[in-house]
Amino acid sequence: MVSRVIPVDTFDLVIFGGTGDLARRKILPGLYVRFLAGQIPEGARIVGAARSEFDDDGYRSFVSESIAEFVAKSKQDKTAISEFLKCIHYVPIDALGKGGWPDLAKLMRLDTIRAFYLSVGPRLFGPLAERLHAHGIANDKSRIVVEKPFGRDLKSACALNAVLAESFEEHQIYRIDHYLGKETVQNLMAVRFGNILFEPLWNSQYVDHIQITVAETVGVGGRGGYYDKSGAMRDMVQNHMMQLLCLIAMEPPSTFEPDAVRDEKLKVIRALDPVESHEIVRGQYLEGENGASYQIEAENPDSHAESFIALRTHISNWRWNGTPIYLRTGKRLRARVSEIAVVFKDPPHSIFGPQEGRRGNVLVIRLQPDEGMNLRVTIKEPGPGGMRLIEVPLDMSFAEALGNDGDDIPDAYERLIMDVIRGNQTLFMRGDEVEAAWAWTDPIIAAWEDRHDKPKPYDPGSSGPEDSLMLLHRDGRRWREIR
């Protein structure tokens, strides 16, 4: 099944940081794929803006190379690429200087959607927002997109919100969390609120606990400098995992309008209990047989940053009272997998007598590597000899179910950029959501900083430190295997 393409109005999109890593790997290839799908309207302009001294042609070569490197070979169509490159322009600009702004202003058209993607470090958000206004480039209809990290604590996030608010209204600000652009994440809402089947069971009466895992096999690599100041809590939990938790736990919004959805997500964050020190395990991978050590990769032999975190939390509201939520994320783990597992309780009484090792129903929502869902159900083991129960998966890979090899599932960035052009903020974080998430995260980080907590070592290629297994064992539960 080929996905339906909904046309958008023509637009001028300016990518500040248009020569950076993110633009090269995700934004520009994503825009080309949308062009190929017929979604970029005639006359649309995509303008790279950065410090490098490119002209239009030089930047077109840069874009063409990024397509060659990061778009699937099956989608590299010579004619389409040269048509796409006609949309591409470039203006050299220093976000902190004066040059280039009048040239950019000249390129902007009246009565056309204007979007500004700030694919630059957060210290440039303020100066860019300010200059866009001062030069009359941003108007009431403009949209501004900002990348993560959105602050490193509540104070800095509030300061960033305040700086953006000086030049833009909240309805113009798109804070990207690319996890929200994943097909499965949106499917989470479709499955929960488009079926009658799950919602009646979606509460502490029937759900034993929820596990959210984001496991990576890669280490910190070239991002050591940034990661060492951030750690897994700031890099993963405060944003991506918190967003997944919100979508899985929120009340049904009354409509699928952006603010209706975001109001419900905010209520989840505000209902999260503080996390006690015994409910959290921090880890750091340490030289194992294959020689990978966090401290060497991060070039900081004294680093106490966590490359792994596992924690237990609760949502204090009527729906979830008594259902623990376990979050786990880390680098250099056994496998690359992101999933949410909703583990249901056992039936109240077994008419089949005791069943050794029987496990209950589990709904697994897989975000990667293969987006899909899997519901574990109990059936009778085939054959004579009594009623023995086994669990089998009702498995649905989206790529298989939708009859394609996964190529037609748009990348998260493709979808989110098109949402910006459409003016749909549903999948973007609102300022108060980000602040609430930091307000929950700050005391957890402060507590381990106060006690000079050292992360527990774990072997690269493992499931994380032993203590993280204990976190669930103590509660009579266990983590799903990372594989």
Q: Is 407 in the site for ligand NAD (CB under 6 A)?
A: no
323 and 204 in contact (C-beta within 8 Å)?
A: yes
CB of 399 to ligand NAD, least distance (A): 24
Whichever of 18 and 372 has its CB closer to ligand NAD, that residue is 18
- CA–CA distance, 249 with 232 (Å, rounded to integer): 22
38 marked as binding residue: no
Cα separations in angstroms, 155 against 169, 435, 452: 20, 9, 22
CB of 107 to ligand NAD, least distance (A): 16
22 marked as binding residue: yes
Q: Is 393 in the site for ligand NAD (CB under 6 A)?
A: no
Q: Is 65 in the site for ligand NAD (CB under 6 A)?
A: no
166 marked as binding residue: no
Longest pairwise C-alpha distance within the chain? 83
- Written as six digits, the tokens of 93 are 């600009």
Q: Is 225 in the site for ligand NAD (CB under 6 A)?
A: no
CB of 124 to ligand NAD, least distance (A): 6
Of 116-124, 272-280, 329-337, 445-453, the segment contacting ligand NAD by CB under 6 A is: 116-124
Which residue from 56, 76, 77, 94 is in contact with ligand NAD, where contact means CB under 6 A? 94
Number of shown-chain residues binding ligand NAD (CB under 6 A): 21
Q: Is 147 in the site for ligand NAD (CB under 6 A)?
A: yes
- CA–CA distance, 282 with 290 (Å, rounded to integer): 22
178 marked as binding residue: yes
Site for ligand NAD in 12-31 (CB under 6 A): 17-23
The sign one gets for the Cα dihedral 203, 184, 309, 334 is positive
Q: Is 172 in the site for ligand NAD (CB under 6 A)?
A: no
Q: Is 93 in the site for ligand NAD (CB under 6 A)?
A: yes
- Written as six digits, the tokens of 142 are 């403009």
Q: Which residue is nearest to ligand NAD (CB)?
A: 20
CB of 25 to ligand NAD, least distance (A): 6
User: Which pairing describes strands 11-16 and 113-118: parallel, antiparallel, or unpaired?
Assistant: parallel
- 358: Cβ–Cβ under 8 A, 6 or more apart, which residues? 346, 378, 389, 391
Q: Is 148 in the site for ligand NAD (CB under 6 A)?
A: yes
φ, ψ (nearest 5 deg) of residue 117: -100, 115
Of 118-126, 132-140, 257-265, 301-309, the segment contacting ligand NAD by CB under 6 A is: 118-126
Of 47-55, 74-82, 287-295, 418-426, the segment contacting ligand NAD by CB under 6 A is: 47-55
Cα separations in angstroms, 32 against 114, 120, 404, 412: 18, 21, 20, 14
3-state helix, strand, coil in the chain (%, to 5): 40, 20, 40
Which residue from 46, 50, 315, 375 is in contact with ligand NAD, where contact means CB under 6 A? 50
- CA–CA distance, 299 with 389 (Å, rounded to integer): 52
The one catalytic residue in 89, 240, 304, 314 is 240
Q: Is 95 in the site for ligand NAD (CB under 6 A)?
A: yes
CB of 430 to ligand NAD, least distance (A): 19
53: how many CB neighbours lie within 10 A of its CB?
8
Whichever of 52 and 426 has its CB closer to ligand NAD, that residue is 52
Of 146-154, 197-205, 312-320, 400-408, the segment contacting ligand NAD by CB under 6 A is: 146-154
- What are the beta bridge partners of residue 181? none
- Written as six digits, the tokens of 157 are 């996030």
Active site residue 135: no
Burial class for 386, CB neighbours closer than 10 Å (0-12, 13-18, 19+): exposed
Whichever of 118 and 363 has its CB closer to ligand NAD, that residue is 118
Which residue from 39, 64, 66, 119 is in contact with ligand NAD, where contact means CB under 6 A? 119
Q: Is 99 in the site for ligand NAD (CB under 6 A)?
A: no
- CA–CA distance, 363 with 360 (Å, rounded to integer): 10
Give buried/exposed letters for 430-444 (b at 16+ CB in 10 A, else e).
bbebbbbbbbbbbeb
Q: Please provide the size of the chain in residues.
A: 483
Binding site residues, ligand NAD, CB under 6 A? 17-23, 50-52, 93-96, 119-121, 124, 147-149
Which residues contribute to the annotated binding site? 17-24, 51, 148, 178, 182, 216, 235, 331
Q: Which residues are annotated as a binding site for substrate?
A: 178, 182, 216, 235, 331
Which residues are known to be catalytic? Answer: 240
Annotated binding-site residues for NADP(+) read: 17-24, 51, 148
